[in-house]
Chain A
Amino acid sequence: MPHRLLRFGWSRKHPEPRMFTRHDTLRPSYDVVIIGAGGHGLACAYYLARDHGIRNVAVLEKGYIGGGNTGRNTTIIRSNYLTPEGVKFYDESVRLWQDLGEDFDLNLFYSTRGHYTLAHTDAAMRTMRWRAEVNKHFGVRSEAVDAAFVKRGIPAIDMSCGGHAPILGALFHEPGAIARHDAVAWGYGRGADRRGVEIHQQTEVCGIRLEAGRVVGVETSRGPIATPRVLCAVAGFTPRILDMVGLRTPIYVHPLQAMVSEPVKPWLDPIIVSGSLHVYVSQTARGELVMGASLDPYELHQTRSTLDFVEGLSSHMLDMFPFLSEVKVNRQWAGLADMTPDFAPIMGVTPVEGFYLDSGWGTWGFKATPVCGKTMSHTVATGRNHPLIEGFTMDRFERYRLTGEKGAASVGH
């Protein structure tokens, strides 16, 4: 094996096909320019090429493919939301996830685990019943369950949570799943690439050219491009892109941190969320515990890590699972979350003609990757909002018609 590897390394011919084509130059014009080669941007490019026949598309990425929040989330997929708009939207996403690996011919390590949102108070229990009813109404498998059910599903848990936050019950969501997040970006990227979409990494957008209120082109670090349509799918960098077209939105950016433990024997099958303890945790196929908590407490455009975060999250993990006290934390990291006041995204057409937005994905964007690609490709191709994103449009704020999804955020941010 080392011999073969060496020979492969030294040989001039590399028979292994590359995942993505490298393009040395930008074309002078494209039908669509997508800013951001994360899951959402690449998914949109993929469906534009596959379903709408629009292949003259450039995906511009300042860093590298999937290097933003696509590679920084805790990979949880669920549809147990609170509003009808949210439930329908995320349910469609869960449906799309099911055969995505086959679509891509790539193993996404999609693993259906079941998802418990623990309730430690009567008020939380009431929200769980509410969510379960809304979910069931739309055919999503969620149930409000009692403490005994939780204990059967998670035998290792301390039901009293250290004595100060006893678990009364939970919202159990059977389709809850985890997946390998990098592979999602790679799968969509490769699928788009094979259909003629150009992915340009290390290409920063420096400006957007407007004429008479409509998009005519994009200025990049590698020269200008003419295009009538631009999709912004850049997560925590959204406000900077919006400044280029002169739009103001409610988006504010806080870092969101996460961490991962050393690998341990499999003991945790389902995904556990506790809003009161500010924890969400799952165990990967490799045995690591992937853990996340609430947003950092103030605005910041930096992906630095803090010790406060590890201390806070670890102490809450130990409330639920005291036997983990000897387990080590391997890594921690942060991403920039573009938050909205109602915890729902901001998507679709904007007052600037030809400028489309897939933003406000705060702390809940990974699970929506497939459905965002589907709906945004429809919106970009037709110039009209897809019916599934009507509740997420930018003008909902001036109409005071918010889509209040905070009750379904995994932890009380």
Chain B
Amino acid sequence: MKILVCPLNGPRPILEFAYGGEVRRSPDPDTCSDAEWSAYVFNRSGSPGLKYEWWCHIASGYWFVALRDTARDVVVATYTADRVRLGLPAPAAAQGGAP
């Protein structure tokens, strides 16, 4: 991957972006157990696959979400950050539908 298509800035060289890790949901810290919390803090889905990830276009300070195949290094779709709150499609569905 040498070019990433940013939802705000269009296609830009990958050097202009910072990777922010997988999009994850935190359990409610007031009600979850210690084990659930440590699993959230530390554990990661390490295997390759289609993953929703945070990316930032550094020059414009713009955060967005990319659905990327971490085995092939191909971005399937990108989303604006508010989609995380509104709900992202299941990775498989997104691969079939979105450009």
Contacts and interface: CB of A to CB of B under 8 A. Distances in A.
Contact of B39 (A240, A248, A300, A308): A248
B47 A243 contact: yes
B39 A398 contact: yes
Contacts of A249: 43-44, 46
In this complex, the member of B18, B44, B46, B73 whose beta carbon has the largest number of chain A beta carbons within 10 angstroms is: B46
A28 B42 CA distance: 38
B98 interface: no
B25 interface: no
Given A301-B71, A308-B15, A397 B46 contact: no
A118 B39 CA distance: 36
A14 to B, nearest CB: 40
Contacts of A397: 38, 41-43
Interface in A287-321: 297-302, 304, 308
Interface string B48-70: 10010100000000000000001
The secondary structure that dominates the B interface is: mixed
A240 B71 contact: no
Contacts of B48: 240, 253, 301
A243 B48 CA distance: 11
Interface residues of A, number: 24
A302 B43 contact: no
A338 interface: yes
Contact of A250 (B42, B51, B53): B42
B34 A398 contact: yes
A267 interface: no
Nearest to B39: A248
A252 B71 CA distance: 13
A251 B44 contact: yes
B85 to A, nearest CB: 24
Contact of B44 (A243, A250, A300): A250
A252 B38 contact: no
Nearest to A247: B43
Interface string A387-413: 000000000011010000000000000
A35 B34 CA distance: 33
Contact of A341 (B42, B53, B73): B42
A300 B70 contact: yes
Contact of B38 (A238, A239, A297, A400): A400
Nearest to A252: B44
Given A242-B46, A251-B46, A299-B19, A398 B35 contact: yes
A185 B15 CA distance: 37
B67 to A, nearest CB: 13
Interface string B75-94: 00000000000000000000
Contacts of B18: 297
Nearest to B14: A308
Contacts of A341: 42
Contacts of B34: 398
B81 to A, nearest CB: 18
Interface in A96-129: none
Interface in B3-33: 15, 18-19
Interface string A230-268: 000000001110110000111111000000000000000
Contacts of B38: 397-398, 400
A298 B15 CA distance: 11
A302 B44 contact: no
Contacts of B41: 397
A300 B51 CA distance: 11
Contacts of B43: 248-250, 397
A362 to B, nearest CB: 12
Given A301-B70, A302-B73, A338 B19 contact: no
Nearest to A395: B38
A240 B70 CA distance: 13
B73 A252 contact: no
Contact of B46 (A252, A302, A398): A252
Given A398-B34, A398-B35, A400-B38, A298 B44 contact: no
13 contacts: A238-B46, A243-B47, A248-B43, A248-B44, A250-B44, A251-B46, A298-B53, A299-B70, A301-B48, A301-B70, A301-B71, A304-B73, A398-B35
Which 8 residue pairs across A and B have the least CB separation, nearest first? Answer: A239-B46, A298-B19, A301-B48, A250-B42, A397-B42, A239-B47, A398-B38, A248-B43
Given A242-B47, A398-B42, 18 more contacts: A240-B47, A240-B48, A248-B39, A248-B45, A251-B44, A253-B46, A297-B19, A298-B19, A299-B19, A299-B53, A301-B48, A302-B71, A302-B72, A304-B73, A338-B46, A397-B41, A398-B38, A398-B39
